[in-house]
Structure 1
Amino acid sequence: MQPHIVVSREAWIAARKTHLAHEKELTQARERLSEERRALPWVKVDKDYAFDGPGGKVKLADLFKGRRQLVVQHFMFAPEWNEGCKHCSFWADGFERMIPHLAARDTTLVAISRAPVEKLAAFRARMGWTFDWLSSGNGDFNYDYAVSFTPDAIKSGDNIYNFATSGFAIEDAPGISVFYRDEAGNIFHTYSCFARGLDMMNAAYHYLDLTPLGRHEEELPYPMDWVRLRDQYTPAPVQASCCHS
């Protein structure tokens, strides 16, 4: 942590107001970015995607559940894995309770992974989640939306991730894709984001950003090295008191 001066309440309020002006600049920039995002062109989805769910095969149109908007959380869970990605689980813990609120705004959120539906169901039960989780393991969906890569693509360097800004070293990657369904039943792909574009969806990170220590990941091998599945954390060590008795 960088050193901090200790000041009077009045001096703190003055410094906080200066920072507030910068926060407002960011808020206004974010609003402009959201308007630009909503104005992006769309791509019509012509492929008839099918997924495996707990009740059998379902189509992409079924995932909307009668609503106009669908958000797909591309959850890293390869067919040979025995549990889902700990980082995707970090995000899932956050959006788990958002589902009814999104539904109230004509939006359905589901998770999709390549692992078989039986593994998804078992891990979902272990984590206590209730969101819909489908398997795309028997189709092209993950590959078409750039969150899965064949071994040959990885070997040849064709594993294009985040709109060609980087490659991805393993077969599954995280992402979000958004779709819209019109009154005629046509489905359109409207948006996707990957990598740091997912950051704003993690409320826990943004709470940490409010604290003096922040995310304090600088000394770790990689930024999310500290993350564990929710049931795998050990109790945090008790810090020694900084006060003298």
Structure 2
Amino acid sequence: MSQKIVSQEEWNKALLEFSKRELEFNAAKKRHAEERRKLPWVKVEKEYVFDGENGRESLSDLFQGRSQLIMQHFMFTPEWKEGCSGCSVQAEGVDGARYHFEPKDISFVAVSRASIEKISSFKERMGWKFKWVSSGRSDFNFDFHVSFTKEQLAKGKVFYDFEMRDVDMEDMPGLSVFYKNEKGEIFRTYYGGDDSLLGVCNYLDLTPIGRNEKSYFDWIKHHDKY
């Protein structure tokens, strides 16, 4: 690496200027979060049932007695032997975050089309404790536009991330947020997610070498494969 080397005084000045821009960026992120909370909601009218480790569960059950639910649409098709490595990196930070989610009236669940047996085996391998269910026997993933049939893909563009796009995989990643009111009605309040949910990326971006990637996420592996 070839980097400019300066005196302590010059370094302090450069970091002070940079920290001002970081504060502006953080303030913009807070405003963005406020705008997100003001987005309209859509009611979930259809009943969905999932396969969990202890049997069948409804979407309402996934809230686990809380009013808010964060759901990771975890790429793991019925044919795959293991879950997506990128989705896995995102999931790595969930168990620690759950200590803080639950007092804030938030539950977390991952949802995949793979069988609950495959999910449970992979989850044990990764050492994760968060709730993870299978949507493989329902239309859930297809209705929420994070999975696509071979016929849909063969036609070209599919509806993903709010518009028609070129997609070449049967499963795609995403994150949904839901709210359940006192009547038991469920609303989808948000869909999206970005790199900020991958905690390791936030740390890597602090370092001189950074992510050191030639293409997007080309460095990512399951944590037991490094």
Scaled by the length of structure 2, the TM-score of the pair is 0.96
Runs of 4+ deviating beyond 6 Å:
none
Kept in 2, the 8 Å contact 1:175–1:198? The answer is no
Task: Tell me the distance in 2 between the aligned counterparts of 1:165 and 1:91.
Answer: 25
Task: Tell me the distance in 2 between the aligned counterparts of 1:158 and 1:208.
Answer: 34
Q: Which runs of 5+ in 2 are unaligned?
A: none
Query: Structure 1 residue 13 and structure 2 residue 12: aligned?
Result: yes
Change (3 A) 1:13 1:167: same
Q: Which runs of 5+ in 1 are unaligned?
A: 234-245
Query: Structure 1 residue 64 and structure 2 residue 63: aligned?
Result: yes
Aligned partner of 1:52: which letter? D
* Structure 1 segment 1-245 matched on structure 2, within 5 A: 3-164=2-163, 166-193=165-192, 197-217=193-213, 219=214, 222-233=215-226
Aligned partner of 2:167: which letter? F
2:70 aligns to what SS in structure 1? strand
- Cα displacement (A) at 1:150: 0.8
2:194 aligns to what SS in structure 1? helix
> Number of residues paired by the alignment?
226
2:45 aligns to what SS in structure 1? coil
Scaled by the length of structure 1, the TM-score of the pair is 0.89
Task: Tell me the distance in 1 between the aligned counterparts of 2:206 and 2:83.
Answer: 29
Give me the CA root mean square deviation: 1.2
- Cα displacement (A) at 1:167: 2.6
Q: Percent identity?
A: 48
Change (3 A) 1:117 1:52: same
- Cα displacement (A) at 1:200: 1.0
Alpha-carbon displacement from aligned partner over 1:3-24 (angstroms, at most 9, x marks no partner): 3211111111100111111111
1:159 aligns to what SS in structure 2? strand
Aligned partner of 2:222: which letter? L
The structure with the larger Rg is 1
- Cα displacement (A) at 1:165: 6.5
